[in-house]
Amino acid sequence: MTKKIFLDESDIPTHWYNIVADMPNKPQPPLHPKTGEPAGPEDLSPIFPMGLIEQEVSAEQYIEIPDEVRDIYKIWRPSPLYRANQLEKALDTPAKIYYKYEGVSPSGSHKPNTAVPQVYYNKREGINSITTETGAGQWGTALAFACAQFDVKCEVYMVRISYDQKPYRKVMMNTFGADVYPSPSDRTQAGRDILAKDPDTSGSLGIAISEAIERAVQDEETKYSLGSVLNHVLLHQTIIGQETIKQLEYAGNYPDVVIAPLGGGSNFAGISFPFLKNNISEDKNTRFVAVEPASCPKLTKGEFMYDFGDSAGYTPLLPMYTLGHNFTPAAIHAGGLRYHGASVLCSQLLKDELIEAVAIQQLECFEAGVLFAKTEGIISAPEATHAIAQVIREANQAKEEGREKTILFNLCGHGFVDMSAYEDYFAGKLSDHSFTDDELKKNLQEVRELSVNQ
């Protein structure tokens, strides 16, 4: 049995795959928050460069990856595909388990796959300064690295709870040359408003996005960059699944189920969409399972409706599964999954039942992460442990049914800078958390009124 499958640098995909071309129901358009009319490219141009806006609205099936981007991808791509045979043995399962390991990138996750092209298109249009938000710190680190590659200034708003939990993430971003501020901060109106209402808030990705957008809007020379949710971000991540298809071919296998954690949807899309294409256009029957934290259950308990992508309401209204842009998730350690909505593409696919979703509590996830570390030797990011927990459920089910099946998951990041999370877990300081239906309803009611007013 081969433990890990490597590809050659020449196997780095030449194109990103755009699932919009193959979706049976195309995503509904974003709406301008003031007019309620579909938002056009010109509405996005104050914050994004045209090269990315074109990709955001494109329906072309494949989009060529510029050579400059592929050259930087070579630092860590193609990433390895592993067979998790030690985990299989520990679970005594007939299932075959494979994982694509994105932790080999400079920031330790899948995020540089999109950070590099995003900075490339900004630089090509003369932009020398970019702002962004970061949850767990993975995205901010990725963008800081990409900005260093193209000599672009980088300003990062880091969700307060992660800023406190993960001090070394900040130092990583500083090492790549970025300035980092805890969010909410007093540098923006959005931040000051939140602090006035709740000075001890743990922050959220929605709030940090508002701060970063506000900074970009105020300064013509500065653009904003988003690490998930938008179509072009999901597009860039599809190199993960394309490489995996080739690697599994070498292993003589094809997945029955593909699993990934979902914060905004980019790593899930990255590993899933190229396989999903084969469900749509060939006769494949793979299942795709997005895993969310039970304490931020937008896919399983949210509603599909138009909502803002950020807390202050600066973004266009997006048709998505959401808990409400005013929702502040519980202070769990999987910071990258603490987001109120899911990308438009993943939301539409879930609505059309082409993908599935499951919510898992954090204690089960950490237990899974520890078993994975002991067996496979990699300490995963708290976000990635959500996928592992679901993999274990699927592998146990295969054992109960006495059925061989092939499980593929995205190990989207390592947890080397998240050790305070594991420390809290071992100290018994972590607990499960669910919101009551009434708590969830309150936020959604406000958003429903907003949708009705459009």
Ligand X SMILES: Cc1ncc(COP(=O)(O)O)c(C=O)c1O
The footprint of ligand X (CB under 6 A) covers 109, 135-136, 138-139, 228, 261-268, 336-337, 381, 383-384, 412-413
Q: Say which amino acid occupies 21.
A: A
Report, in Å, the least distance between residue 209 CB and ligand X. Answer: 12
Count of CB atoms situated within 10 Å of the CB of 371: 17
- Cβ closer to ligand X: 106 or 264? 264
- Cβ closer to ligand X: 109 or 185? 109
- Cβ closer to ligand X: 195 or 288? 288
Report, in Å, the least distance between residue 394 CB and ligand X. Answer: 19
Distance CA 147, CA 120 (A): 9
DSSP sequence for 317-347: EEEEEES-TT------S-GGG--SB--HHHH
Report, in Å, the least distance between residue 339 CB and ligand X. Answer: 7
- Cβ closer to ligand X: 195 or 258? 258
- Cβ closer to ligand X: 139 or 314? 139
Token representation of residue 18 = 């755009």
Report, in Å, the least distance between residue 240 CB and ligand X. Answer: 10
Report, in Å, the least distance between residue 353 CB and ligand X. Answer: 20
Report, in Å, the least distance between residue 337 CB and ligand X. Answer: 6
Report, in Å, the least distance between residue 99 CB and ligand X. Answer: 13
Nearest alpha carbon to residue 43 among 233, 316, 232, 228: 316
Decide if 362 contacts 337 (C-beta within 8 A).
no
Is the bond into 78 cis (omega within 30 degrees of 0)?
A: yes
Decide if 155 contacts 130 (C-beta within 8 A).
yes
Residue pointed to by tokens 């690295």: 145
**CA separation (Å) from 177 to 268, 304, 440?**
29, 39, 40
- Cβ closer to ligand X: 326 or 410? 410
| Residues in contact with 74: Cβ distance below 8 Å, sequence separation at least 6, in sequence order | 9, 12
Distance CA 271, CA 291 (A): 13
- Cβ closer to ligand X: 274 or 413? 413
Count of CB atoms situated within 10 Å of the CB of 300: 14
Report, in Å, the least distance between residue 195 CB and ligand X. Answer: 23
- Cβ closer to ligand X: 47 or 334? 334
Token representation of residue 405 = 């099946």
Alpha helices per DSSP H over 45-111: 50-56, 67-73, 85-91
Q: What letters, b where the CB count within 10 A reaches 16 and e where it falls short, cover 116-138?
A: bbbbbbbbeeebebbbbbbbbbb
- Cβ closer to ligand X: 95 or 212? 212
Q: Which helix (H) or strand (E) holds 425?
A: helix 419-426
Residue nearest to ligand X (CB): 336
- Cβ closer to ligand X: 354 or 450? 354
Report, in Å, the least distance between residue 154 CB and ligand X. Answer: 16
- Cβ closer to ligand X: 93 or 118? 118
Decide if 30 contacts 39 (C-beta within 8 A).
yes
Report, in Å, the least distance between residue 34 CB and ligand X. Answer: 28
Distance CA 158, CA 29 (A): 29
Report, in Å, the least distance between residue 263 CB and ligand X. Answer: 3
Distance CA 137, CA 365 (A): 20
